[in-house]
Amino acid sequence: MDQTVPQVGSKACVLLADQGIGNAGLVSHLLYSEFQVVGTVYDGQAAVTATLALKPDVLLIDIILPRLHGLDVIRRLVALGVKSKMIVLTAVEDPEYVDEALKAGASGYVFKRRITSDLPMAVREALGGGIFVSSTRLGNC
């Protein structure tokens, strides 16, 4: 079941689209001091619908989603003129996917194994108009 709450307050609003139900709590915990997570959806079609309805400042989206692939969600939202910044949050660390996501209109690409160190920076960077991509170096966080 999708979970959404109305946007309130002055913090930038973030919507999460991820089929991993357990990731919502971690994302909320990592971002709560600076941002407000306004909802969680679990498939690509719901991501499009919720983004159009809630108009979040940032959409965090996994690539692998049921009903509509994450890259297709990004392409569709860009084509619809959505102003939300979109950051891919995924376990897929393939450079081709990074390139495709950025070409599609993503403002960032965060590897789930680097979520703790990279996600808050990626959201700040996207909101500032920049692009953030997790480092592919192993070992150092």
Q: Is the pLDDT of residue 138 over 70?
A: no
Distance between CA atoms of residues 37 and 13, nearest Å? 6
Q: At what angle do helices 44-54 and 70-79 cross, to 10 degrees?
A: 30
Portion of the chain with pLDDT greater than 90, in percent: 77
- Percent helix / strand / coil, the chain, rounded to 5: 40, 20, 40
Q: How many CB atoms lie within 10 A of CB 64?
A: 13
Distance between CA atoms of residues 91 and 73, nearest Å? 17
Whole-model pTM: value is: 0.88
Per the DSSP assignment, residues forming a β-bridge with 12 are: 35
Q: What is the pLDDT of residues 52-70, one digit of tens each?
A: 999 999 999 999 999 999 9
What pLDDT is stored for residue 9 in this prediction? 60
Distance between CA atoms of residues 13 and 7, nearest Å? 7
> Of 96, 84, 87, 78, whose CA–CA distance to 133 is shortest?
87
What pLDDT is stored for residue 2 in this prediction? 44
Q: Is the pLDDT of residue 122 over 80?
A: yes
Strands (E), 7-115: 12-17, 35-41, 58-61, 85-90, 108-111
Q: What is the pLDDT of residues 66-106, one digit of tens each?
A: 999 999 999 999 999 999 999 999 999 999 999 999 999 99
When pLDDT is averaged across residues 32-46 and rounded to a whole number, the result is 93
What pLDDT is stored for residue 99 in this prediction? 96
Distance between CA atoms of residues 123 and 49, nearest Å? 21
When pLDDT is averaged across residues 33-61 and rounded to a whole number, the result is 96
Distance between CA atoms of residues 39 and 90, nearest Å? 18
